[in-house]
Amino acid sequence: MAVRLTELGAKGLLLLAALLLAFLATSYSNLFFLLLVFCGTLGGLGLASGIANLRAVRRLELQVPAGPAGAPRPVRLRLAARRSVSDLVVTLGDAPGLTLPPVAHAAGDAPTTALLPAQPRGVHAVGVVQLASRYPFGLFEVRRWIPWPGEVVTYPEPDGPAAPTGRSLDQGTPPDPVGEVAGLRSFRTGDRVRDVHWRATARRGAPIVKELDAAPDTAPEIVIDRRVEAAQLERLLAAATAAVLAAAEGRGAHLLSQGFAAAVPAGQPPPPAVLRWLASAAILPPDAPPPVRWPQDQEPAHA
């Protein structure tokens, strides 16, 4: 735990010093003494309350989902404290850019959601979480660090029409399977309305639905050759991100690059490993080997 004077506190300390000087320069006066004691108590009690405020925090749970660059993302925060904690500012690590908006009051174990500001693409390893508070009078800032061995994964901002922007991928809803129309049949209970073939229904006078084939295993391959300039890689990664997101909502895909191969399953959020790779991918020298092809008969072990 560390304590430092805020700007207001520093000015207040200067004022107190000036008043103390005036007190010593003049003959003793009860009211002068009383007011000096009041000012000193205001600062002392403010400091003690500020320390007690952060000491009350017993546990901190943070869920920071992977998010796209350039857009804020919701962070789930759950604070366990002995009593209400006020004016709490949470910073992931020591980077000011990873500071969550302040929480005026947090009590009990009720979780809250805060928006993490937009981040650049990358994987930011966080060793500790810093809690800071200027409670109660703003004269001191008390800081406390809690170990948090996590990382903030920020994948490229998707660059494609199919990409859902500004939404965390692991919160997406799984899409419906897509397949070819194999034929028509009568409506049965449980069929979806969207599968109703309206022309046939109109012709026959009874509800007719389309019968779909199972989706063929034609997942596309997204291949990224990283033997390019940095700017070009960023564009490639942005396009690949859009494609991955679209594939996750569609028929799935395989993401391939030098030293990396992973499947993006259909109808599910993209695997964290894929997002992490997109967040951390870096350029390779021109003499690096080309990307590997997707093995047709086996799944990649690390996908």
Q: Name the site residues for another protein (rule: CB under 8 A).
A: 7-8, 11-12, 15, 19, 22-35, 37-42, 44-46, 49, 58-65, 78, 80, 84, 86-87, 89, 101-105, 107-110, 129, 134-139, 146-151
Closer CB to another protein, 149 or 205, in the complex: 149
The tokens 């922007």 sit on which residue? Answer: 165
Minimum distance of another protein from residue 41's CB (angstroms): 5
Q: Kindly report the CA angle at 40 between 35 and 43, in degrees rounded to 5?
A: 130
CA distance 223 to 254: 8
Judging by beta carbons within 10 Å of its beta carbon (0-12, 13-18, 19+), is residue 1 exposed, middle or buried? exposed
Closer CB to another protein, 42 or 184, in the complex: 42
Closest CA to 104 of 84, 81, 80: 84
The tokens 């569609």 sit on which residue? Answer: 250
Minimum distance of another protein from residue 102's CB (angstroms): 4
Q: Kindly report the CA angle at 139 between 145 and 53, in degrees rounded to 5?
A: 45
Closer CB to another protein, 101 or 174, in the complex: 101
Q: How many CB atoms lie within 10 A of CB 122?
A: 16
Minimum distance of another protein from residue 75's CB (angstroms): 9
Minimum distance of another protein from residue 188's CB (angstroms): 35
Closer CB to another protein, 103 or 184, in the complex: 103
The tokens 């012709």 sit on which residue? Answer: 203
Minimum distance of another protein from residue 71's CB (angstroms): 18
Closer CB to another protein, 37 or 181, in the complex: 37
